[in-house]
Structure 1
Amino acid sequence: MSQATGPSGKVMLACHDLTRIYREGPQDVTVLDGLSLEVRAGERVAIVGSSGSGKTTLLNLLGGLDRPSRGEVLIAGESLLALGEAALGRFRNRHIGFVYQFHHLLAEFTALENAALPLIVRGQRKKAAESRARELLAKVGIAERAAHKPGELSGGERQRVAIARALVTDPSLVLMDEPTGNLDQATAASILALMDDLARTTACAFVVVTHDPAVAAHQDRVMRLDGGRLNEQIEPA
């Protein structure tokens, strides 16, 4: 990716008329209703909203983990709907980093192996993948725990491993679901600083779902999800 000094003209993520309807018994429940969003390269967007408003559903759609009932998602100009499951998996590995609210680390692997896994799945040699993973574990302040398995780590440490795993592939877009929820204030600040650096130097775009007003205020834009639609919010909630 090219060097950048902040949000550029290139649209990294775009969704149009995004709708997700779930069937619950005899009723259809509309979670997202004709939602649209654009995020440019190097831009950091926070999404806030009440519990149950559909924030995680939106992240799953943006990352291709779920399919919309209507509408489309484009990342780096590529429509996710146009990709079959195998091609979509390869595309996610190349372009998208995920930080899940509940980590989803593999219990039998060490922190280093978990962080390196996306590169190994891509076909990179283990030594090179683990070297890159070690760099990211150092950046999130957990290098000394590289040989420990998730069960031996605190919640905050597991979260930092998950963040390293999301960033290890140098993705075009990072989707984060409550990324600082289990972190102390100093560690959370270091993660936000790392996001700043990556947005500035690699043009990576971030979409961050958060309940934390400080995290929301740190992003370039804050969007509120309400009634299935996104609205620009001047003052973070």
Structure 2
Amino acid sequence: MNDPATVKESAMTQAANAKGKIMLACHDLTRIYREGPQDVTVLEGLELEVRAGERVAIVGSSGSGKTTLLNLLGGLDRPSRGEVRIADESLLDLGETALGRFRNRHIGFVYQFHHLLAEFTALENAALPLIVSGQRKKAAESRARELLIRVGIAERADHKPGELSGGERQRVAIARALVTDPSLVLMDEPTGNLDQTTAASILALMDELARTTACAFVIVTHDPAMAAHQDRVLKLDGGRLTEQHDPL
């Protein structure tokens, strides 16, 4: 078993070395969809930079384009114009096969509904991105166990999702998102399906991860408490992002 203190110290050293580095940069990001005879512009000329260890919340009304933005940042969709750069790599320069490999290595996803595989244990779910990338199972599960330690759920490693609480399942999903040491973690309503107490524990966990990881976090949320807890709050409106200074 890996020592939790050693795991945490190693992670904090990595985070300190990456401090200040731009992990995500978007320039002139535009997405236009064709609906019948008309073009519908969802995002227009969007600009964004997020640095290592920084947590940015994105808020906006339903239909404002938050999901479209996450899909573009995660390489699940291509922009009509503009560029997304992650760890100084332009997603536009990557073909589909290379993009899939890059996404597996550099981007972690956490959804409102955890999307864990019911037939796998917490440890196996957390290790899955590494196994998919070709890493040996033993090494992948060793790394996954480190992440389960960091998210405070190591004692539940051998339990399947049906045996875990909602908060525990979300912690496993966060461990899975971090297991490859990604440059960027995208979170889509990560506390939206949790009760208030459990959501508070996820917020505390994110505080810890911001100190001990070198990645950037982008969190889409309708939860005012979640948004206010981040380093910056941006509002998506009219296809553009603006700093949110007023109380949510």
TM-score in terms of structure 1 length: 0.89
Name the residue aligned to 1:73: 84
Query: Contact 1:6–1:42 at 8 Å: present in 2 too?
Result: no
Post-superposition CA distance 1:89-115 (Å, at most 9, x none): 111122111112332322332222111
Does residue 99 of structure 2 align to residue 88 of structure 1? yes
Name the residue aligned to 1:45: 56
Name the residue aligned to 2:115: 104
Question: What is the identity, as a one-letter code, of the residue corresponding to 2:108?
Answer: G
Name the residue aligned to 2:4: none
Question: What is the identity, as a one-letter code, of the residue corresponding to 1:11?
Answer: I
Once residues 116 and 23 of structure 2 are traced to their aligned partners in structure 1, the CA distance between those partners, rounded to angstroms, is 27
- Pairs within 5 Å for 1:18-167: 18-167=29-178
Post-superposition CA distance 1:177-209 (Å, at most 9, x none): 011122333433333333223322332211111
Label 1:69 to 1:33 Cα distance change in 2 as closer, same or farther (>3 A): same
Query: Contact 2:113–2:193 at 8 Å: present in 1 too?
Result: no
Question: Alignment identity in percent?
Answer: 89
Number of aligned pairs? Answer: 237
Once residues 71 and 96 of structure 2 are traced to their aligned partners in structure 1, the CA distance between those partners, rounded to angstroms, is 15
Question: What is the identity, as a one-letter code, of the residue corresponding to 1:134?
Answer: R
- Pairs within 5 Å for 1:165-184: 165-184=176-195
Query: Contact 2:120–2:160 at 8 Å: present in 1 too?
Result: yes
Label 1:156 to 1:202 Cα distance change in 2 as closer, same or farther (>3 A): closer
- RMSD after superposition: 2.3
Post-superposition CA distance 1:62-84 (Å, at most 9, x none): 11011111111001111001001
Once residues 151 and 213 of structure 2 are traced to their aligned partners in structure 1, the CA distance between those partners, rounded to angstroms, is 17
Label 1:225 to 1:159 Cα distance change in 2 as closer, same or farther (>3 A): same
The runs of 5 or more residues in structure 1 that have no matched partner are: none
Does residue 222 of structure 2 align to residue 211 of structure 1? yes
What secondary structure is seen at the aligned counterpart in 1 of 2:56?
strand
Once residues 17 and 230 of structure 2 are traced to their aligned partners in structure 1, the CA distance between those partners, rounded to angstroms, is 12
What secondary structure is seen at the aligned counterpart in 1 of 2:205?
helix
Shift of 1:154: 4.5
The runs of 5 or more residues in structure 2 that have no matched partner are: 1-10
What secondary structure is seen at the aligned counterpart in 2 of 1:106?
coil
Once residues 131 and 236 of structure 1 are traced to their aligned partners in structure 2, the CA distance between those partners, rounded to angstroms, is 43
Shift of 1:223: 0.1
Query: Contact 1:6–1:199 at 8 Å: present in 2 too?
Result: no
Query: Contact 2:112–2:191 at 8 Å: present in 1 too?
Result: no
* Aligned partner of 1:196 among 180, 195, 207: 207
Once residues 116 and 184 of structure 1 are traced to their aligned partners in structure 2, the CA distance between those partners, rounded to angstroms, is 27
TM-score in terms of structure 2 length: 0.86
What secondary structure is seen at the aligned counterpart in 2 of 1:86?
helix
Post-superposition CA distance 1:116-156 (Å, at most 9, x none): 10111122221221222233234434444433433454544
